[in-house]
Structure 1
Amino acid sequence: MELKFALLKAFLKVLGFIKGDKYKYSQEYEDNFRYMDMSEKLWWGYKSVVKQIERAEKGKGIEEYFANQDLDFTEGELFNAESRITISAGGDLSASEMIFPDNTEHLWDDVRDFYFDADIVCANLEAPIVPERPPVGVPAMCLTAPKLNISPQMFERFIDEGRGVNFFSTANNHSLDQGEHGVVSTLDFLDSKGYPHVGTARTREEQNDIPIIEQNGIKTAFISYTYCLNGEDTIPGKEYMTNLIRLNKPETDISLIREHVRLAKEKGADMIAAMLHWSIEFETYPIKNVIDMGHRIMECGVDIILGGHAHVAQPMEKYRFFDPYDKREKDGFIIYSLGELVSLNLFSKNSRLALLLKLEISKGIDKGSKITKITGLKALPIYILFKPMENGNTDYRILDLRKTLADIRAGKNPYAFSEADIQELERLEKLLYMRLLPKNSSKILD
């Protein structure tokens, strides 16, 4: 396996040299394994093991568009808030052969106060949980998509003794890794623990029973969809078990989203958050097709889009749109990819940089009308630490990137980073400010 991987990496490096400028920019692909031709498979391989793509599609103004974003959601003088809630969002919780309960004892130490201090703490559960089957994780060298399975013990790390993640999206490309039984087992497991979820379902009725979390008189609905199932079809006759929509493809039918928004509004939702497994892997910017899809989804009446799957963080956007239900112009929020949360890609250096978010939602009176809107946004850049220890064990934890660099610059080095490690941290910091955050980002950084 190691020799095969080394030969593949050498071949892809040569290919990248031959392709030259073309391989430096995002390209218009769907990134859907089921429909990939050989050229796209080679492109995917290059991005995943040689070099992640940090430049947007040429000639479409994408980099400038995100650099000039105004992410200020200040409530305004005319708005009188009567109640508020906070929603924290993190990226993908996956399964890995390199991440397990023994090396994640201090998983949340550096970010617990930010991430878990919210009314709703959400993330994407990117693998089934079938307790009677052995756990299956992504190996260090991965040439095919493994059939993942998360252990109940690792799930306990995610919920952090009841202080941690308390809402889970289950729609992603690994939803069917353990088959129909895996979908049912995962939902049964979450229900047994008392954790709400959305994205997969045991029945059609459950698919259409949009979960609403009510806190402080504010009703927040969650909907969730995935762009693919790793080459699998939905279960014949039971397509409702997985919310599958080809989100990366232009002009895709999104009538299921419209229907779920309608059902959420019927149940009295004040705010609708869509958790989307989409966008293009190993690329810093979303392609134009994905941006257009985000806007189409928001125009259905969605207020917040929380994206994942790309294995790297992608930018944020404030999008002004007309809400067909509220009958008014409003500001929505999109993050195209939060990046990893508990996951590990050894050959994707940019995957070590991710984001945690905290959104404030307020309900009150504006110009005589009662409305609910986003009134605050904070972001915490994080670094995924995976470090071999002298005793032969490993340490996996999530670090506050800016705090870590501040400590290093102050002469502290509690994680024994080498000079090469420090240079890599500084490179990721540069990527954060040059590509992921808008020019005026001081207001949103926690």
Structure 2
Amino acid sequence: MMNREIKSYFPILDQEVNGHPLVYLDSAATSQKPVQVIEALTRYYEFDNANVHRGVHTLGNRATDMYEGAREKVRKFINADTTEEVIFLRGTTTALNLVAQSYGRANVEEGDEIVITYMEHHSNVIPWQQLAKERGAVLKYIDLNPDGTISLEQVRAAVTDRTKIVSMMYVSNVLGTMNPIKEVTQIAHEHGAVMVVDGAQAAPHLKIDVQNLDCDFFAFSGHKMCGPTGIGVLYGKKDLLNNMEPIEFGGEMIDFVGLYDSTWKELPWKFEGGTPIIAGAVGLGAAIDFLNEIGLHEIEQHEHKMAAYAMNAMNEIEGLQIYGPTDPQKRAGIVTFNLNDVHPHDLATVLDMSGIAVRAGHHCAQPLMKWLQCTATARASFYVYNDESDIDRLVEGLRSTKEYFSDVF
């Protein structure tokens, strides 16, 4: 279960910041890495570093086995049908751009609709904006309820027979909202649209089953789930991926290159041009082993518990506003808030003076900030290494910050 033993696996947390023990509450931006992942990366670089697929020497074969072994770990982690459906990329942003530029350009025409929500991260907004402009399509937004959730009635009102793509985050990186992806996918399919899921905030915290969700594409990043930066995954249904063209060309992804024409490798390698992110994949595989050992169900329940504890304590602070669902069971381990007239950047700076790391800003979600009628917020996000003592420190820091700015002004 979640306890101090798990925290001990994360060496970065055993330090002081500005003379105080570090409390890291910014895992929605990037998670910390356990020793198991750090050691896996070190072992690869010390003993197995070589390029994959091309060589016949021992190191090359070992590196290839580790790289493709990581792909199999991802397949099991999200319950994909085959490793052909698991593409290694730089991260969620790259994955969503691949879908927009490859599938979108080939299938979206003038007057067609692309449907997203107001809560999306910029990487699930801008690719669709660009595609809509290029193809003359209509970009539509699903309305939100006052608590930052969506209803299936709102989805049905937005999705029509002209809709070709529905793209939605599984979990909001600002509100913590957990969206009903399976049901939204069913509505999209009823109208002949494909369902694209931004799973960046879901894969680290929830048990993912892409076959049960029936989504057509699912994207996530390693660095938010105890893995290295610079590695991510695009899952896509095999039939769709087979009919898509690569958007990055060069070595690794080719079958035959002639003077004036070339052919591509089969899945998944046709989308992995150039030397792949070998060490990143190895580290991601180690992160998946670590999360599986803890248990994704246990992680989800722990974060609900952390969110409930934080919201109960923070609601006692006069002048503090929390955004998103009020029911902790309907949100992930994210609490986004503002405190009176204190700017979130000032708030985060003062908290940092006490060794407490939170995120401040628009969180790459400016359309949502507009919907919330604010320019920025502060955000505390929890993960496997956080416990109630971290939240106690946060609440103490918020009370001190409130007193500090009351004295100043």
Do the two structures share a fold, i.e. TM-score over 0.5? no
Higher strand share: 1
Please identify which structure carries the higher helix content: 2
The TM-score normalised by the length of structure 2 is 0.31
